[in-house]
Structure 1
Amino acid sequence: MAFSGKKNGVVLKFVELTPAKTFDLDHFKTLLSERTKLVSVVHVSNTLGCINPVSEISRLAHSYGAKVLIDACQSTSHMFIDVQQIDCDWLVSSGHKMSAPTGIGFLYGKKEVLESMPPFLGGGSMIADVFLDYSTYGELPYKFEAGTPAIAEAIALGVAIDYLNSIGMNEIHSYEAELTAYLFQQLDKIPQIKTYGPYPNSQVEGRAALAAFTAGGVHPSDLVTLLDQEGVAIRSGHHCTQPLHYYLGTPATARVSLSFYNTYEEIDVFIKALNNTLDFFHNVSG
């Protein structure tokens, strides 16, 4: 698929999915050309749970002279990330996904790339010299830090990162992989449930600690409303991926997400509540 941007006339091209609902690397290769300027991709899909091969994506994009932006919001709190190994030009993430407060995040960029970029905001602290007809900007990182920064949030983000590192990102990823396998094993026992994305341990890149699913004719919003009354909190809707849901042929999905602080017992509580909720809908409709 390809669309023309209305503002700048850029052509947007979109990578298809494999039958296993993962990033189609072969299709991606067919989209690249010398005219490709930017490749933007999520590290982990917050709906399908697939972990995209970002190192190979970067290598292929760079072979055509394109820059690479990685959205790592769904991965920074769940696994070890080496930006030098990925070789991306930019990587972004949000703090609240990493046990930090809301309103804070970070942008990683290669030094030479950041130095070549103009600032997109103006204000105090990012200026070197001001003249009547032009201004010069400070060195990195001040060039991109206009105005009063979110000081408290930045300090809290640093503490949150220290906390995650004290546990160990590899340990977190390993434990979450075990939890996810158990979650899918339990979901497989419920006939009405259809999950989306690769099955745990079925792909070389693995999958994230979440499961997006539908439950027969029960609308996900109705499902999560009753689960909430059972004391179980999961999400429903498009998960900021409405075009993907069009592609999947479903108006919405329910999504249960796991983290390092969850337990097997909590999964059991969720499965019991899910069965009770589905029984309720079956009895009402029957």
Structure 2
Amino acid sequence: MRRFFLLAPVAVLLVGIVVMLATEYVVAQPSRRAKDVAYVPAAAPDFDKERHILDVYSPKKANAAGYPVVLFIHGGSWTSGSKNIYTFIGRRLAKQGVVAVIINYRLAPAVHVPEQAADCARALAWTVQNIRQYGGDPARVFVMGHSAGGGLAALLATDDALLAANGLPQNPVKGAIMDDPAGLDMYSYLREMKYEGDAQYLVPFGKDPAVWKEQSAIYKIRPGIPPFLFYIGGETYPSISGSSGRFRDRLKAIGQPAPYTVIPGRHHVPMVLQLYWQHNVIYQGVLEMVGA
């Protein structure tokens, strides 16, 4: 009997793993994955073979008009993270009629946030120039990010100068989906330094307040930017809920609606993990925004 109770948790875990793998297999069937595609030329002096790559997930069924495209940027405090963790997002989006582009970008301390934002802009430029061959519509490109990736996605939606410097004379972003975004207002955050451990963010952002402000999308809000869609965890960090709320208020001040959903009981990391489930409320909003 004792042996049974010792083995039971292991058996349950194995069953759970089998179920998850089976689920992934089923979800993968309607989609194609192009893995480790370089979005920066290998001849570029700063090319990083591990970080300047992306994956594209496309529906297998052809669509003459092209599918809408979502470029997803991972989080990780600007110092960690990988596209390989988020295959489930690519699969779920492709299954629901969206071409998903999941990117890597260089990380701190090797580079700082301005270089990371430039990497994301280069990935966006690659997407616009190449996504048609993967079944996507370059005229319907949206950006999405969680945590630090949300802050970077917001810069792509608001910083036309950033895009122009990286191959995009016109901003192609049709909308931005914020999943518990961090970094929307690092200028205020790093000036206040009111939370324990805040000094760690000086590694990716440096010590120049002018850079903090330049890399904060909240100061780039103006008429004509694409629409934003917010999903915030009810139990997330106060800095994230606070800066997201201020961002929403500034959008409203210029007459731009900003749908803003607080998901009760959700902490920061579960806000992205819940995207494992295809019918999650965030996907529902994404599909409506992109017209899938």
**Normalization by structure 2: what TM-score?**
0.28
Higher Rg of the two aligned structures? 1
Which structure shows the higher helix fraction? 2
**Normalization by structure 1: what TM-score?**
0.28
